[in-house]
Structure 1
């Protein structure tokens, strides 16, 4: 069965829910509602962080900040997507046109990439959503283990403008927080999956281009027409342009992601370390361990796709060089030479145009977070 788009339905519906998918009815209303709900949550979260900043129990502040920073990151991503609607529209149009213009042989490669992206999308969205379940379970178990005189604990720590001692109000707030946190976690998974989808689509186009060059090896000189070389050059330019659009959309997001993931992983790592072997620490571990895994996965996704795209881009030059260019005429050889020179400028995703996204950057995030955890543990 053929897939007419690389984008998973779950990713498309998620982007429609925040009003950034091209052609979404009442897109502005969806954007305003989703962003305003995040802003309201953020106000109460930062109020809690400010009120409890000077308390002796550092674990409460780290627990609150870990979720608060994760919410802030999602809010910034949604705002960036809303302000880059035209760029997002160009990216989606390019994906659709690639599917419309591909031939039968190309579709097998594109279907393979589409199935891979959809599989990863579903896994990532599910893992982000299930992390909310574990986080909420740990919070409720901790509340059950507290004394009756202790104030009731919310799933997401907030400083609300009203009392939640009444059971109906408390239950209403818990349900609201759980639903909003679940939708926010799913949206984080959607945006991360969308990046994977775009990079896999670009890599699929690279594989098709490499396949075209392997077909040149089987042709004689007279069979390699000017139109064939022109088609390959145009495809190469489209891959470069598509990669630049991905870079323009996600570069600033990656910068905020780098800073936020370092802080969140630091907070969660501190909570995990101080909860091991402590009475009642199992509830905190239930809350934090899977959350820590998901945040580390989020950082790994960005760094891995940057490395993967760069590696795939290098393969274009290798495929061009390994073709039977020495059997072509001088005019075609000039085109081959220009493609080799252009492919030496690697396709890349950057962290705010400061550094390239790579697995080395992920290692730096982990090392920086571990260093901060050791400092906080020494202060605790």
Structure 2
């Protein structure tokens, strides 16, 4: 079970990297759109985008550090087992693997352990970067939605004496909002195309990995030498659950934010606009009724309900395995 959980994690990383390699043009398009948004923002927009960027950086650091910490604790659990058992014939490794030479001396054993630790740390960091990228992209879209809602509040006709000037201002704002709304929809679809298949594989892999780690934790409690396995598995279990939660949360957050567009459009001073501008507002309301979502392989939407389903399915599998054990 220990080796199987690590194998699933590495396989998932490999598949993610292959998907990114095949969709490099789409990724470049997404990054280009983000750069364009930063270049074209005004002072008020820049404040909102800077705040979103700060939150994205803070969350990304937590995710990457948590993945690397899980590797560190996983290695500590292996070292504790080595010292406890005082192995001589079969030397324990961080990752169970077959190598083309025999580990007969302590120096070779240490060299292999260090190599595995560096490799595992870099892989964990890459997983954290890929997950952080999803958060950054979704939060960027949500920031653009907040800016759009702020622009909607500017549609008003406060000064009746300057009616013609205000009408021109409102017309420019409406045109800008239509363009911005289309950019938000396009950007969200690009994120969906990039991460849809990743989310599908993530959903299956996280269910199995959480199941394996949960089973190891259950059978290690109260057994001799189980503390080493708990050190290796508990934080690994937490990180895998966090990874599944991140995907489900960003999908839920994007869907919730997109619902606010229609409400903000309706709550604006649309009745002070001309009939032609009202038709544009009406079209925006219709388009915003279809929520922006992230899906699991274009089959079902990513939401907190799906995260609950992952934990529920994993707990069911653990109970079955424990009964058979």
Question: TM-score band, normalised by the shorter chain?
Answer: over 0.9
Match of 1:4 in 2: none
Do the aligned partners of residues 76 and 224 (structure 1) sit closer, same or farther apart at CA in structure 2, a change above 3 Å counting? Answer: farther
Which residue in 1 is equivalent to 2:285? 340
In structure 1, what is the Cα distance between the partners aligned to 2:247 and 2:173? 35
The aligned counterpart of 1:64 is: 3
Tell me the residue number matched to 2:193: 248
Deviation at 1:356, TM superposition (A): 0.3
Aligned-residue offset at 1:168: 2.4
Q: Using a 3 Å threshold, how does the CA distance of structure 1 residues 149 and 170 change in structure 2: closer, same or farther?
A: closer
* Contact 2:5 2:213 (C-alpha < 8 Å) held by counterparts: yes
Residue 126 of structure 1 pairs with residue 71 of structure 2 = no
User: Which residue of structure 1 aligns with residue 43 of structure 2?
Assistant: 104
* The one of 125, 132, 149 aligned to 1:210: 149
State the 1:147 CA deviation: 4.8
State yes or no: 1:199 paired with 2:131: no
Task: Give 1:356's match in structure 2, choosing from 286, 289, 301.
Answer: 301
Identify the residue that residue 94 of structure 1 maps to in structure 2.
33
Q: Cα deviations across residues 273-305 of structure 1 (Å, max 9, x unaligned)?
A: 001111110000000000000000000000000
* 3-state SS, counterpart of residue 72 of structure 2: helix
Answer whether contact 1:216 1:224 (CA < 8 A) is retained: no
2:234 to 259, 267, 289: 289
Query: What is aligned with 2:244?
Result: 299
In structure 2, what is the Cα distance between the partners aligned to 1:378 and 1:217?
A: 66
Instruction: State the secondary structure of the residue aligned to 1:215.
Output: coil
User: How far 1:160 sits from its partner (Å)?
Assistant: 2.0
User: 2:151 touches 2:173 (CA, 8 Å); kept in 1?
Assistant: no
> Cα distance, 1:216 vs. partner?
1.2
- 1:271-282 equivalences in 2 (<5 Å): 271-282=216-227
Find the counterpart in structure 2 of residue 325 from structure 1. 270
Question: How many angstroms apart in 1 are the aligned matches of 2:147 and 2:90?
Answer: 61
User: Residue 132 of structure 1 contacts residue 182 of structure 1 at CA under 8 Å; is this kept in 2?
Assistant: yes
Distance in 1 (CA, whole Å) between partners of 2:193 and 2:204 is 18
Distance 1:224 1:66, change over 3 A: farther
How many residues align? The count is 319
Q: Does 1:140 align with 2:79?
A: yes
Q: Does 1:232 align with 2:171?
A: no
- Which structure exhibits the higher relative contact order, with contacts defined as CA atoms closer than 8 Å and separated by 6 or more residues? 2
Shift of 1:320: 0.1
C-alpha distance after superposition, 1:12-68 (max 9, x if no partner): xxxxxxxxxxxxxxxxxxxxxxxxxxxxxxxxxxxxxxxxxxxxxxxxxx0001111
Residue 318 (structure 2) pairs with residue 378 (structure 1) = no
**Is residue 113–residue 201 contact of structure 1 (8 Å, CA) maintained in 2?**
yes
Partner of 2:115: 176
Shift of 1:224: 3.8
- Where structure 2 has 5 or more consecutive residues not aligned to the other structure, the ranges are none
Q: 1:166 to 1:224 in 2, by over 3 A?
A: farther
- Alpha-carbon distance between aligned partners in 2 of 1:288 and 1:259, rounded to the nearest angstrom: 19
Provide the alpha-carbon RMSD of the alignment. 1.2
Mapped pair 1:190 → 2:129: yes
TM-score normalized by structure 1?
0.82
CA contact (8 A) 2:248 2:303 kept: yes
Q: Cα deviations across residues 314-364 of structure 1 (Å, max 9, x unaligned)?
A: 100000000111221110110000000000010000000000000000000
Please state whether the residue corresponding to 2:154 is helix, strand or coil: helix
Q: String of CA shifts for 1:227-264, please: whole Å, max 9, x gaps.
A: 22111000000000000000000000000000000010
- Give the C-alpha shift of residue 150 in structure 1: 5.5
1:119 partner SS: helix
* CA distance in structure 2 between the aligned counterparts of 1:133 and 1:198, rounded to whole angstroms: 29
Shift of 1:218: 6.0
Q: TM-score, normalised by structure 2?
A: 0.96
